[in-house]
Amino acid sequence: MNTMNTRGPLLQVIAGTLLLTLAVMAVMADEPKNHDFDVIRDEASVPPYQLPPILVSAEGKPITTPEEWFNIRRPQIMALFGNLVYGVVPQPESPVRTTFEVVKKDEGYMGGKATRKDVRIKFENAKGSAEMQILVFTPNGVGKPAPAFLLHSFAGTRDDGHDAHPDKPGFTRNGLPLGEFFKRGFGFVVVPQSELVRHNEVEFLKGVHPLFYRAGQSFPKANEWGVIATVSWSASRAMDYLETDKHIDAKRIAAMGHSKMGKATLWTCAQDQRFALAILAQSGCGGAALWKRNFGENMEKMVTRFPYWLCRNAAKFARNEDDLPVDQHMLLACLAPRPVYVASGAEDLWADPRGEYLSAYHASEVYRLLGKTGLDTEASPPVDRVVASGHVGYHNRAGGHSVEMFDWLRFLEFAEGHFTRSK
């Protein structure tokens, strides 16, 4: 047998199979959103749109004082977002009892730089029970309660992902730069997204929702909480615990989230004014970006791929964003006068960096009414330029949909500046 004559074709077959396999793997690894070509991805295609006015009441009255903002306009805006976009948390028939338990404590975390506490938060009433486990890290040796970041996290809290990385000093196994936080005197709190509701929940038969159902109910009503609102509720329950922890300064908590978790962070901080500062990283539609630009991900894409991230009422505005009586600049404004930082990625067109900036710019109208400094120009800053001298911060980092060390450092600097001034 002449093996030399068969080796060439065999190698060609192997090489072809390998290339095909690599191509398939590349397609599988690519995100589906990158193949949605029926969305707007260039500024020239953005349709004309008109934003609802922030400082005009539902009755048409101009809002000209802080008192009118807090007593009239802000409640109107929050009610619209609650009932039409994220969903409201219903009043349970049976009162929910919340308990906290530190199930594990490590005072020598990351070589003694910090103390780690694994905290179980349990919810119980006559309908049943649910629980989540958060992680609380506090720097050692600071001698006083520490300010902290609360991270709305995609990652769970019951595996080894938040253990100190054996080969990267200052990092966790899943990549969080906690050493940098401890060095600056910050604590860090991890609130997982999937313990009370699944990432793309469609049943709502487990987790925390059944505790809130009324007799005969088995699914949220059209204006009741979807997934994002549930994730936000979990952060507020984590804040309940933090107010009891003597090592945490609960008056100086910055809530932070990326992508879907950035959307949750915005709703968390709008509802719960105990959070002192908000950081929204590439939060896109349903987060900082404007719905009415219809750029990148839009309402139709969201409610199709993730049908219950928002409340069911939101689906009425798919392909009909012009009829939505609010837009996200109004929700950003509801954070005022607390500082907010919006971060974009220049290549993350799905999240609409320009729309995120414009939302922060238009929200600045309320910050100025309340005597704070917002963004003062409609023009977006150049890539990698940080605008963070006032109460509304922004940057558009080179790169895509991720949180890089550049981002972490800017967030820390922003929080340090404001928390130092608020002491």
Nearest alpha-carbon partner for 256 in 180, 189, 179: 189
- Amino acid at site 130: A
Annotation says 57 is catalytic: no
**Residue 79 — φ and ψ, nearest 5°?**
-65, -40
CB 190 within 8 A of CB 135: yes
C-alpha dihedral sign at 154, 157, 160, 163: positive
Q: d(Cα 204, Cα 227) in Å, to the nearest integer? A: 9
DSSP 8-state secondary structure symbol assigned to residue 104: E
Q: Which residue is catalytic, options 162, 362, 395, 401? A: 401
DSSP secondary structure string, 323-362?
A: G-S--HHHHHHTTTTS-EEEEEETT-GGG-HHHHHHHHHH
Q: Which residue is catalytic, options 259, 344, 359, 364? A: 259
Sheet containing 392-397: order of strands = 97-108, 114-125, 128-139, 187-192, 146-153, 248-258, 277-281, 340-345, 392-397
Q: For tokens 């409610």, what's the residue?
A: 303
Annotation says 218 is catalytic: no
Q: d(Cα 383, Cα 102) in Å, to the nearest integer? A: 43
Q: Six-digit token pair at 334?
A: 């509801």
CB 234 within 8 A of CB 157: no
The residues annotated with a catalytic role in the active site are 259, 401
